[in-house]
Copies of this chain bind each other. A is one copy, B any other.
Amino acid sequence: MRTHEAGSLRAGHAGQTVTLSGWVARRRDHGGVIFIDLRDASGVAQVVFREGEMAERAHRLRAEFCIKVTGEVVARPEGNENPEIPTGSIEITVTDLEVLSESAPLPFPLDEHLEVGEEIRLKHRYLDLRRAEPARTMRLRSDINRVAREVLHGREFVEVETPTMTRSTPEGARDFLIPARLQPGNWYALPQSPQLFKQLLMIGGLERYFQIARCYRDEDFRADRQPEFTQLDIEMSFVDQDDVLELSEEILAGLWRLVGHEIPRPIPRMTYAEAMARYGTDKPDLRFGVELTEMTEYFKDTPFRVFQAPYVGAVVMPGGADQPRRQLDAWQEWAKQRGAKGLAYVLVGEDGTLSGPVAKNLSESEREGLAKAVGANPGDCVFFGAGQRSSARALLGAARLEIGQHCGLIDQDAWSFVWVVDAPMFEPVEDMESGDVAVGTGNWTAVHHPFTSPNADWIENFEQDPANALAWAYDIVCNGNEIGGGSIRIHRSDVQERVFRLLGITEEQAQDKFGFLLEAFKYGPPPHGGIAFGWDRICMLLAGADSLRDVIAFPKSGGGYDPLTSAPSAITAEQRKEAGIDAKPGAKKGESGEKADKQG
């Protein structure tokens, strides 16, 4: 149906007769001559309908008609070249035209800079994908997969497909469920990740596993979450943390080369504690400075009631002293929306004098040394967070990001990578993000997941100080985004049992939920660990996209709704009956297994 791809034609093709197939991207009429930009997957070429009959037949062509043309490649007349497209030195004088299919008027124009709601774009995603940017993004994602797999195959990793109709994996979110028609009353769950299966593969002696795996979490979809998402999932045996990090860095280096960036290696590491202290977050954006300064000690005798707190910290906004009043008010509003009472601040005048409502509440000596203590210069604004350490730091960390954006401190072309290591094993249940589901019923929940190993310092005594126990767990952070995370796993069943106990998982619950994993751990499990990369987010960063939805071929919009297919949808009474949705769980598992066996 074609001899050439439209985007491949160059001056050297002049004189050749070619056949192209593609879409009418743009049409211009010039005194009886019709110019059409013919687009296919490779690019665009200008085709010209000059002669009387051809021009007449071309008159019916409209945007996005699918056509096949034959004609001669000719050099464009001097002065008519278009240096902005690779085929800009030639055009095709059409001698034959076939309309392969027509197009109804488009619901939105397929321009590069599209000013149309996302819902309508997603409803007609197949039209959206004809635009250059989404098409480029799909191709980039494919290349991202290719490069990662090349690295992994090169190191003899084995790609294994793990089941997606399985038993619930306890990883902190709700499971999606599937009724089992042949075992009425029983349900499969879609996996939140291949975590348990990849550990079983390590017990199975596979040693090096990977999979670009579809994962499922039934969460209350916040802004940018999808019910199904993708991760590059990796697990290795007989390794320590350094091995996992080194491999990960080779993969990331390969990926970022796709966008022309060489990641300096090794990627720096920072402990979780340091990240929280200096940046107020476990995913610090290191493209700019502006660090938090702890001021608890400085204000230990302060007369200012607000600063008589377990933690006081500060962050400096360079040049922020001359913000107008309404902008300072807006900061208060911003802080309140984040659940804080407000955002205390002090303005440092050009002569060094402090102003703002907080200043007068401080003692004279506190005022005197303040600018120096927080590293503020004349003309800066100092924001304070005071209260519980974790919430005050989180507020200051968020303020830091606002400052970075607001003051243009972030080089948008820069890439900054950092490993955040030595993560805590546990967090108090009350600190969990809303919507997450604790695995056990204890006061502590696992920060990563309950199979994460305490590090060498804590493996024998984590119960004595759960708040400070550290894990062999690591996250990789890029420009303030967590793009991957993993851990060395527990491979000793005694340690696993102790962790379950601390999490408030009874032996019975443990047996019920992952008895099969505990059973597997009885048979010589190897030391192992791994990592999972948030594939959608990595694609988003590399594509320079604003939303995860941009890097997914057919994404869901909010609430898990698919504007294209209108899924989810109602089912018929017959489907419901047939699927056994309302059946009581009948036979016991063992029995149904035996029954199944006979069928098989």
Indicate if the CB atoms of A183 and B559 lie closer than 8 Å: yes
Indicate if the CB atoms of A104 and B522 lie closer than 8 Å: yes
Contact of A593 among B129, B516, B566 (CB under 8 A): B566
**Chain A contacts to B: CB under 8 angstroms:** 1-2, 21, 23-24, 39-41, 64-66, 68, 100-104, 106, 118-119, 124-130, 135, 138-139, 141-142, 145-146, 149, 153, 157-167, 174-183, 185-190, 196-197, 200-201, 203-208, 214, 216, 218, 220-221, 223, 227-228, 230, 237-240, 491-492, 516, 519-527, 552-554, 556-571, 575, 578-579, 581, 585, 589, 592-593, 595-600
A425 to chain B minimum Cβ distance, whole angstroms, is 21
Indicate if the CB atoms of A221 and B565 lie closer than 8 Å: no
Specify which chain B residues have a CB less than 8 angstroms from the CB of A23 in the assembled complex.
205, 524, 526
Specify which chain B residues have a CB less than 8 angstroms from the CB of A104 in the assembled complex.
522-523
Q: How many copies does the complex hold?
A: 2
Specify which chain B residues have a CB less than 8 angstroms from the CB of A176 in the assembled complex.
165, 178-179, 188
Contact of A230 among B161, B240, B554 (CB under 8 A): B161
Asked whether A160 and B174 contact (CB < 8 A) given A119-B593, A592-B559, the answer is no
Specify which chain B residues have a CB less than 8 angstroms from the CB of A196 in the assembled complex.
565
In Å, the complex CA distance between A338 and B589 comes to 33
In Å, the complex CA distance between A101 and B205 comes to 13
Contact of A522 among B40, B103, B183, B554 (CB under 8 A): B103
Indicate if the CB atoms of A203 and B126 lie closer than 8 Å: yes
Indicate if the CB atoms of B182 and A560 lie closer than 8 Å: yes
Indicate if the CB atoms of B182 and A138 lie closer than 8 Å: no
Indicate if the CB atoms of A138 and B158 lie closer than 8 Å: yes
Asked whether A165 and B559 contact (CB < 8 A) given A119-B597, A126-B203, A524-B102, the answer is no
Indicate if the CB atoms of A167 and B553 lie closer than 8 Å: no
User: Could you write out 14 A-B pairs with CB less than 8 Å apart?
Assistant: A23-B524, A41-B206, A66-B525, A126-B520, A139-B158, A145-B159, A149-B149, A161-B214, A161-B230, A163-B556, A186-B569, A200-B554, A557-B596, A559-B600
Contact of A160 among B24, B138, B189, B526 (CB under 8 A): B138
In Å, the complex CA distance between A118 and B581 comes to 30
Indicate if the CB atoms of B146 and A153 lie closer than 8 Å: yes
Contact of A575 among B177, B491, B569 (CB under 8 A): B177
Contact of A65 among B221, B516, B524 (CB under 8 A): B524
In Å, the complex CA distance between A566 and B511 comes to 12
Other A-B contacts than A177-B178, A187-B568, 10 sampled, CB-CB below 8 A, are A41-B207, A100-B527, A124-B519, A163-B562, A166-B567, A167-B562, A174-B579, A176-B178, A176-B179, A197-B553
A451 to chain B minimum Cβ distance, whole angstroms, is 15
Indicate if the CB atoms of B177 and A160 lie closer than 8 Å: no
